[in-house]
Amino acid sequence: MKPPSLRSALLAICCVAATEVAPAARAALLEPPVEPPVATPTATPVEPMREDPALAADLAILARFDVPFPETKSFREATAREVIDAAAKAAGHAVEIDGQIVGDSGGWELIQLSCDARTPRQALDAVARAISTSYRRMELEVVAGIPVFSEYSRATRLVALKRYDLQAILSRMAADRSEDTTDDERAVTITDLLTEGVDPEGWVDLGGNISRFRVIGRTLIVWTTPSRHHAIKRLLEELERALPSPTQVWRIRVAEIAAEANPEAIEAALGSAAGLDALLAANGASLVAAPKLVALRGKEASIAVGSDDEAVDVRISPTEARDASLVEVRRRTNAGNLAVTLRAVERVRGAGIVSAGNRSLLVEVLCEEEKAESAGQPAARP
């Protein structure tokens, strides 16, 4: 079952660029295509298949056209040639046109268009749409290391194989507690997004003749053109960013409030991290412990800081609510125990005070997705 909001967000971002191919690449386009084996997501593995070593360079070229202009470029009644030249200059790479499609008269260069483009690719997309009204459906591809506008139906001559590791995305999907699915079902969700978001008409499984895919374990194998590989890579990156991390980082501060602490300063410490910093700096409280936990999302975790005689125990328990957890913090001393339980939501600071006799404890909790800098930190005990 696919989450509609995630699908609509991703499909709005990741569409294949439209552009064309040049005279310098005619020979490559006219060569007979090397057809990949027909494959389906449930096909059994076949003999080893090699990736095209030139594909990485082609993808790097296409990525240049996604680097934003210093500011949005507004083209008003500009010619197709003027827009292409501006995009090529910004990307640092010449763009050519397949002469076999547009002919040698150069009439396409004089076609006028208006657009606002944030990136060179958006500018070239506008050119492709403008040219396609007078010629056939055009798109930007890379042929022999050259960005070229060519006709859509000629893309089969540029098909190359690439493997995509789905491990990280599948782990993030498993961490999303909104659905209880298997890895195979999650892989189907991913391939559905790809076939709907990247040139839907071109997939063999949907009646096209350009792109094919196969899923083997946690690896997605795709046969398609460089521009479509570029779009697939972007879509998978967007999907990974949109999904929750399988691990969370919990930062907790436990402070003992001094008897003479200013009540207003205590209120400020409850209200913000800066307020707690100020209370500690003014000696209105003393920091007892500041444990940091890296724990699996949706799983119980615990940690103890201190000794047998004096310690802080932290236990994190998931709730039925998708993004909420209960955090129990207990301060153990020879004078007795103090404990407080807070309901915590990711990326929202929580704080509370518990008092007994003349002792008061302030607890601050903040949960965030695990970032790269958290790698290698001690994990909480499950």
The average pLDDT across 48-67 equals 87
Residue 46 has pLDDT above 80, yes or no: no
Amino acid at 97: I
Output the pLDDT for position 321.
Answer: 79
- Are the C-beta atoms of residues 317 and 292 closer than 8 Å to each other? no
Q: Give the CA count within 13 Å in the CB-facing half-sphere of 222.
A: 28
Output the pLDDT for position 249.
Answer: 92
Identity of the highest mean pLDDT range in 35-39, 46-50, 117-121 = 117-121
For residues 177 and 118, what is the distance between their CA atoms, to the nearest angstrom?
Answer: 36
For residues 273 and 253, what is the distance between their CA atoms, to the nearest angstrom?
Answer: 10
β-pair type (160-165, 219-224): antiparallel
**Which one is predicted more confidently, 210 or 47?**
210
Output the pLDDT for position 131.
Answer: 82
Output the pLDDT for position 371.
Answer: 64
376's torsion region: left (phi>0), alpha (psi -120 to 50) or beta? left
Q: What are phi and psi of 261, to 5 degrees?
A: -65, 145
Q: Which residues of 182-207 are buried (b: 16+ CB within 10 A; e: fewer)?
A: ebeebbbbbbebbbebbbbebbbeee
Strand locations in 225-349 (E): 247-257, 285-289, 292-296, 301-306, 311-318, 324-333, 336-345
Output the pLDDT for position 23.
Answer: 36
pLDDT in tens, 121-176: 999 989 888 887 666 677 889 988 899 888 888 888 899 999 999 998 998 888 77
Identity of the highest mean pLDDT range in 43-52, 150-159, 271-280 = 271-280
Residue 360 has pLDDT above 80, yes or no: yes
- Are the C-beta atoms of residues 14 and 238 closer than 8 Å to each other? yes
Residue 375 has pLDDT above 50, yes or no: no
- Kindly list the distances between the CA atom of residue 12 and the CA atoms of 8, 193, 234, 276, 370, in Å, as whole numbers in the listed order: 6, 11, 12, 42, 27
pLDDT in tens, 224-274: 999 999 999 999 999 998 888 888 899 999 999 999 999 999 999 999 999
